[in-house]
């Protein structure tokens, strides 16, 4: 007896980029079928990178059947039905728009783009493609942490009542050392912004996703604590080490961004994104206080959601540590028995499962490019307020749909 | 053999007010001699209140030898060497200035006053009195939480390096219920402001105390979520219940205040004070990230200080839960063996011990009225920024000392 | 107007011993009236100690009106209505029996005695005295931690169903250093046993108190890790330092005791008491798992009770961190607003309040000397099992009441 | 350019069983090459199960190239170099011995067997096979939790000194409901024992692995709280539901096992394994106290190791929460940046990586079948002591190696 997995229902994936995000997405495509029985089986068809040797090696290691050095080749291949964009933000718009126009579904890493203008073009392309049955999704993977998906469910079900406070932080510490080199993420040309777009984007999306409410305006401060750093010989990623012969270059992005604001629903919100929080490694934290309860989350304990039910008797009221690994919890039932934890990469597997389901069903996956554009507008308002020294700055409303 | 406690070295205390703060201060005066061997023994001489019967009952219960209904009587009594002011903020200036002019040492609850102008008058009176050997102290009791005193010691010793981030919150939830009555703390006339002055003042002082750095400017938002509340028949305190026959009145203070700012030392700082954080009872939280380490604190676990030492080997680095009950920790050695926790009221006993030591030594206790005035200026900047819709507002610098 | 506190309803206290326990009890007698409005007002009449100068100094510092060097004098004084015994265990029986026979109410620190025989004599004396309206109480202060009192209330109300597991630990580390001196607590003659009687007694009482169930039998192991220690020049207490000129003496008690057992109600129970748990300072921990819920407690976070309600929906089930500072929580309403924590010494104030209420009402305070005797029988079973190398040993049932 | 992954260095895997453990192992074989660059590339060749249709479906879903219904076929196939045994314990001995004799490397799930006799036969077969270059490993996956591997490293490096206390618990709650059906894990014939062998085996191995010390003897109690349960129509796993028409059958294994003991190195040890700890889902907890430090772990927060360094200054000493995701931490560097957590299944990927490395290097993987046998002897001593009502029972020493 042979395991003859039917080619019917396959979806060829072409991925661009094979650094950090390329590795997480590869693990997702590799694993999703074993746990989620998706209606479409992803086939890891081809990986695109810039360097021939390194791309080939990455393809072999990560499980891609082929490797190419020109991403445009993906648009021409019949075995690619979906283009997965895992490159820096300055390349997103060109690749995504071209892929959508070529009739390929697109999954694009966040932030959607480096500027609102690029994001608008991408969102317009996604709207146009939708009419042809082509789907686009932006990769805010933290939405797929089971605890945050559960938080959204509880808010939507009214379990915490009217939201009064949103308190979001994304704390990392990998730039504390002033000798850490000038990697691409510190270059405004390539990364768009610093902590703001890289991790601030995540907490803006997470807060809006969980509450179902959007930021109406902000007042902001940003800072670059270390303004020059050693040049990186190969600006390959977080782990790059400086070896530029002592030369230094300017950091052109923010090290930290703080902003407070009001939501359309009338809540007060506080945000902080920083790469200088010594000892905090990946502390994406969110607390939401409502008139009838509260929720709290910290990614460094990502399997836990803390829930306070205001309706509890005072004798036994308290924040509950909900271990979000029960069969009925979002995504958790696909994996292991209760108490057997999930990790970071699972969020990408969940993202893949949701995207495959949407493509198969002919529905729009979330978050859409419009959602990504809206986050971009928040980031632009933050940057604008900070540039002006902290004044109130409304978030541009979305243009009316055509 | 009789316990003949010498009257030499006694300091008569006259206290004004016997509500929440009056009770904490009474416990401090009652207990301090048993644990701290102060150079002056406080004698609980006389309690002043407005209502004769209630004041007499309070004096009997709390251990005061006499009760009076006019605080001015304290200034005339020879058995009163120190006036302890535990009344609402609108009365602080009059009592404190009069007491200082009468040659009485003064301990005044925070916030120092309801306005900068009043606070300036008080600080001027304190400066004048100092020349006559009369001492003044403002009661920011949280400085005397052993964990926060230890935090200051560690920052001062350079254990966390240059401060980059201050993250302070004071979260309570006693106003979540819209039927909670209109107590005096919700009346701008008496309380000055709402969450801002009541609990925001504490985190401003705590953050500045721990870091030894001061806020240079802020941008702020405030909100009053519930704008009308039932009239309280007796606006006696937190526990008052509405019974005003259905009548309602306006809440004239803020329910919540958020502000972000920069310190004189170049750090970014974030503050949030709210009475609408459902499930958080008295969560005075402070996190400080420096170039060489971090500290974190939450009053709801007040015996713990979390310390991350950036110099640790990466293998074993992590936030340490320091149980601040060791003999060498601030104040802790006076009490019990390690691991035997202290509570809220102990902060007032520590305050009394420090004040008695300063009076006996003829030195200035801290925090001074000038410190209280500086906090008042921060609150004024916050209120000003919020009133203007969130613009950048510098904190007024202190006037040059005469 | 003068605070004329009525002498009617006063109860004179005579205390024996002024070391660690003497200090906690003094603070309780000094504070109880200000918070609990007891029907009898305790008057701190006289302190008995061995050394004249040290006793006088202690009396002055702790607030006792007089000092004596012979505890028998307390029995003869009319101004002493209650004798409070804060001495080492080898003296409990003689003092307590004499005091009860002299018609004085008695509060006796735990463990009730060093042997079952002594405890039986004390319990018999207490039963006899009860007929004359004289009350006796043993001081298991941890019962008066609000969180543990709440735990008992929840178990009694059926909130966790049938108890299946009891898991109790009392972890300290003050003997880890082999140079710590040979204080009286390490001498079997004076202390009776080591970790077993000192801290093991507390977790036996706490577990039985919370569950309302009793140990039926045990199997046990004990160990003395460091068998010789420097002689203490003044075996005054925990803080004593060795200065015996290099001489060493034998440790004659256990450093650690482990035992597992079954309760009369059919639960399995596990106990561990040790002074060698490096880094644990006063970790009295208790977890109880029932058919319908669970409870967990750690004294190092003594204001928190963790409660899991098995009836919760799986989506939001989890251990709740109940901050036991609400007005309706045991003892908490007498103190401060929610979230304002209590400390170690408050347990003794609660004990004093309960004892005064019982004396005034003419009812029996709990825990009784019979309760103390039963704990002594558990300790004897543990010691017997350990001496026999770990065999099953039933706990002797109480003799039938006469 | 095509990704031509070389067949050189491949190792064909044949797996038996496709329930819970089959799924975890499949994910490990599928993922290991992308993260660990193993010297041998595993090829998921063939899956053996009992039911043709279910096995074929599992193979397709889990990524196995072929499916068979007779495990003996694996021994005859040239494309199988390693047999991975994921079946209940009563089948381990037969399959493992046959596979080893057929020259196949073997990975066998724990517990090694249901009896000491079977385990001895397996260990003998492994020793014989080793001489022929054939490797055998038993699957105690929790050793590969990075935090526990780090704990072992710290103990081995002397960071906690001489071990005094081991405190291990494995708490689950899936049997609390008396209507949970009689699955195979509750049948002594198939499972050998209950909580003892299923989860007790894990904490015995984890404790011995971390400390490098072995249990010398124990005294034990076990209990079956619910002695009859509904018959399961398909005793397929944890999720099975009773549907046996109301019929019930006897539970023939323990629900909970408690034991205390002494290690060869002189430490005291406490163990508890239960499926009745309401609210605890997979709480494998281990605390080790040494003369110079302590370590604590809870699998429900599996990315954290708590470390107390006794050499720290008392001012800043405390248990540190080490987030075990740093590049230098065991296994962690192969995955994601710091603070990006790992999950349960990663332990199996680590196990696969270590096994592939050992097979390629021609060295013995750990834990060996002899290690598995030793754990079996501990379990036998526990069962023996419990059967005798709790007496001291030495663990049989290993027979001298031939």
CATH number at residue C219: 3.30.360.10
| pLDDT higher than threshold 70 for residue A244 | no
Residue of B nearest to D308 (CA): B320
pLDDT at residue number C246: 81
- Verify that B207 and B311 share a domain, yes or no: yes
- Verify that D138 and D176 share a domain, yes or no: no
Q: Last residue of a domain, which of C115, C142, C169?
A: C142
Q: How far is CA C120 from CA A182, C115, C362, C371, in A?
A: 78, 9, 23, 11
Where does the pLDDT of residue A2 fall: very low under 50, low under 70, confident under 90, or very high at 90 and above? very low
pLDDT at residue number C232: 79
Q: How far is C296 from chain D (nearest CA, A)?
A: 11
Chain-chain contact of B315 with D329 (C-beta, under 8 angstroms): yes
**CB A67 within 8 Å of CB A58:** yes
* Closest Cβ–Cβ partner in D221, D272, D293 for C262: D221
Burial-class residue B73 by CB neighbours within 10 Å (0-12, 13-18, 19+): middle
- Verify that D337 and D201 share a domain, yes or no: yes
Peptide bond into A367 cis (omega under 30): yes
Residues of B in contact with C20 (CB under 8 A): 336-337
ipTM of the complex: 0.94
Where does the pLDDT of residue A390 fall: very low under 50, low under 70, confident under 90, or very high at 90 and above? confident
Where does the pLDDT of residue A397 fall: very low under 50, low under 70, confident under 90, or very high at 90 and above? confident
Is A238 within a domain? yes
- Verify that D341 and D203 share a domain, yes or no: yes
Q: What is the pLDDT of residues D284-324, one digit of tens each?
A: 999 999 999 999 999 999 999 999 999 999 999 999 999 99
Q: Last residue of a domain, which of A89, A123, A142?
A: A142
Is C393 within a domain? no
Chains with at least 3 CB pairs less than 8 angstroms from chain A: B, C, D
Counted domains in chain B: 2
* Closest Cβ–Cβ partner in B318, B323, B326 for D322: B318
Q: How far is D280 from chain C (nearest CA, A)?
A: 9
Q: What is the pLDDT of residues A313-323, one digit of tens each?
A: 999 999 999 99
Share of chain B above pLDDT 90, in %: 92
Q: What is the CA radius of gyration of chain A?
A: 21
- Verify that A117 and A243 share a domain, yes or no: no
Question: CB contacts < 8 Å between C and D, how many?
Answer: 137
DSSP string, A298-326: EGGGTTEEEEEETTS-GGG--EEEEES-S
pLDDT at residue number B399: 60
Chain-chain contact of D326 with B320 (C-beta, under 8 angstroms): no
pLDDT at residue number D3: 45
Chain-chain contact of B279 with A292 (C-beta, under 8 angstroms): no
pLDDT at residue number C400: 52
Q: How far is B334 from chain C (nearest CA, A)?
A: 11
Residue of A nearest to B386 (CA): A392
Q: What is the mean pLDDT of chain A?
A: 94
Q: What is the 3-state secondary structure (H, E, C) of chain D?
A: CECCCCCCCEEEEEEECCCHHHHHHHHHHHHHHHHHCCCCEEEEEEEECCCHHHHHHHHHHHCCCEEECCCHHHHHCCCCCEEEECCCHHHHHHHHHHHHHCCCEEEEECCCCCCHHHHHHHHHHHHHHHCCCCCEEEECHHHHCHHHHHHHHHHHCCCCCCEEEEEEEEECCCCCCCCCCECHHHCHHHHCCCHHHHHHHHHHHHHHHHHCCCEEEEEEEEECCCCEEEEECCCCCCCCCECCCCCEEECCCCCEEEEEEEECCCCEEEEEEECCCCCCCCEEEEEEEECCEEEEEEHHHCCEEEEEECCCCHHHCCEEEEECCCCCCCCHHHCCCCCCCCCCCHHHHHHHHHHHHHHHHCCCCCCCHHHHHHHHHHHHHHHHHHHCCCCCEECCCCCCCC
| pLDDT higher than threshold 50 for residue B7 | no
pLDDT at residue number A400: 52
Is A400 within a domain? no
Q: What is the pLDDT of residues A87-134, one digit of tens each?
A: 999 999 999 999 999 999 999 999 999 999 999 999 999 999 999 999
- Verify that D113 and D150 share a domain, yes or no: no
Is D196 within a domain? yes
Q: How far is CA D57 from CA A335, C303, D48, D241, in A?
A: 17, 53, 12, 22
- Verify that B124 and B235 share a domain, yes or no: no
Q: Last residue of a domain, which of C142, C175, C203?
A: C142
Chain-chain contact of B314 with D320 (C-beta, under 8 angstroms): no
Chain-chain contact of A320 with C316 (C-beta, under 8 angstroms): yes
- Verify that C88 and C123 share a domain, yes or no: yes
Residues of A in contact with D141 (CB under 8 A): none
- Verify that A222 and A170 share a domain, yes or no: yes
Residues facing B221 on adjacent strands: B258
Q: What is the pLDDT of residues B364-396, one digit of tens each?
A: 999 999 999 999 999 999 999 999 988 999 999
Residues of C in contact with A327 (CB under 8 A): 314
Spacing of C-alpha D42 from chain mean position: 21
- Bridge pairing between strands A10-16 and A41-48: parallel
Is C359 within a domain? no
Q: How far apart are the first and last CA of chain D?
A: 55
Chain-chain contact of B337 with C280 (C-beta, under 8 angstroms): no
| Residue among C191, C215, C216 at smallest CA distance from C203 | C215
Question: CB contacts < 8 Å between A and D, how many?
Answer: 142
Peptide bond into D28 cis (omega under 30): no
Chain-chain contact of B1 with C342 (C-beta, under 8 angstroms): no
Taking chain C (402 residues) in runs of 10, the rounded mean pLDDT of each run is: 55 97 98 96 97 97 97 98 96 98 98 95 98 97 98 98 98 97 94 95 98 97 98 55 73 98 98 98 98 98 98 97 98 98 98 98 97 97 94 83 48
| Residue among B274, B266, B270 at smallest CA distance from A258 | B270
Element (H, E) at C117: helix C116-130
Is A219 within a domain? yes
pLDDT at residue number D4: 43
Its pTM stands at 0.95
Residues facing C14 on adjacent strands: C46, C83
Residues of B in contact with C5 (CB under 8 A): 60
- Verify that B93 and B160 share a domain, yes or no: no
Query: Which residues of chain D are modeled with pLDDT < 50?
Result: 1-7, 235-242, 402
Is D394 within a domain? no
- Verify that B159 and B252 share a domain, yes or no: yes
pLDDT at residue number C399: 60
Chain-chain contact of D34 with A26 (C-beta, under 8 angstroms): yes
Chain-chain contact of B318 with D317 (C-beta, under 8 angstroms): no
**Range B223-246 average pLDDT:** 70
* Closest Cβ–Cβ partner in A26, A281, A337 for D338: A281
Where does the pLDDT of residue B235 fall: very low under 50, low under 70, confident under 90, or very high at 90 and above? very low
CATH code for position C118: 3.40.50.720
pLDDT at residue number C243: 53
Is B1 within a domain? no
Residues of A in contact with B276 (CB under 8 A): 164-165, 289, 291
Chain-chain contact of C326 with A309 (C-beta, under 8 angstroms): no
Chain-chain contact of A339 with D299 (C-beta, under 8 angstroms): yes
Structural domain range at position A233: 144-387
pLDDT at residue number A245: 66
* Closest Cβ–Cβ partner in B154, B314, B321 for D319: B321
- Verify that C208 and C261 share a domain, yes or no: yes
- Bridge pairing between strands C10-16 and C82-85: parallel
Q: What is the CA radius of gyration of chain D?
A: 21
């Amino acid at each position: 007896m042979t395991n003859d997995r039917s080619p019917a229902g396959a979806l060829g994936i072409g991925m661009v980029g094979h650094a950090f995000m390329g590795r997480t997405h590869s693990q997702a495509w590799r694993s999703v079928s074993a746990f989620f029985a998706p209606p479409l089986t992803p086939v890891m068809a081809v990986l695109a990178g810039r360097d021939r040797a390194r791309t080939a090696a990455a393809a072999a290691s990560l499980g891609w059947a082929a490797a190419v050095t020109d991403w445009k080749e993906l648009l021409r291949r019949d075995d690619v039905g979906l283009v997965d964009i895992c490159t820096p933000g300055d390349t997103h718009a060109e690749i995504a728009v071209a892929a959508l126009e070529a009739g390929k579904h697109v999954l694009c890493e966040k932030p959607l783009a480096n500027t609102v203008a690029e994001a608008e073009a991408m969102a317009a392309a996604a709207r146009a493609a939708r009419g042809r049955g082509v789907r686009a999704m932006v990769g805010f993977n933290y939405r797929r942490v089971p605890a945050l998906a559960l938080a959204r469910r509880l808010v939507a079900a009214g379990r915490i009542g009217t939201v009064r406070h949103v308190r979001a932080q994304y704390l990392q510490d990998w730039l504390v050392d002033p000798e850490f080199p000038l990697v691409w993420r510190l270059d405004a040309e390539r990364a768009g912004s610093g902590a703001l777009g890289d991790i601030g984007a995540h907490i803006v999306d997470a807060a809006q996703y969980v509450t179902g409410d959007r930021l109406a305006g902000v007042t902001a401060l940003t800072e670059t604590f270390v303004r020059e750093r050693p040049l990186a010989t190969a600006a390959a990623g977080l782990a790059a080490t400086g070896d530029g012969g002592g030369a230094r270059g300017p950091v052109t992005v923010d090290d930290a961004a703080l902003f407070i604001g009001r939501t359309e629903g009338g809540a007060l919100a506080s945000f902080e994104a920083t790469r200088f929080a010594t000892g905090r490694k990946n502390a994406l934290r969110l607390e939401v206080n409502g008139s009838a309860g509260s929720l709290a989350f910290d990614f460094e304990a990502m399997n836990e959601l803390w829930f306070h039910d205001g309706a509890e008797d005072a004798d036994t009221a308290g924040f509950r540590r909900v271990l979000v690994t029960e069969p009925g919890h979002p995504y958790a039932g696909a994996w292991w028995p209760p108490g057997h934890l999930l990790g970071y990469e699972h969020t990408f597997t969940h993202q893949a499962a949701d995207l495959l389901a949407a493509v198969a069903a002919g529905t729009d996956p979330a978050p859409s490019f419009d959602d990504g554009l809206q986050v971009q507008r928040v980031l632009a308002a933050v940057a604008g307020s900070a540039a002006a020294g902290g004044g109130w700055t409304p978030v541009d409303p979305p243009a009316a749909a055509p």
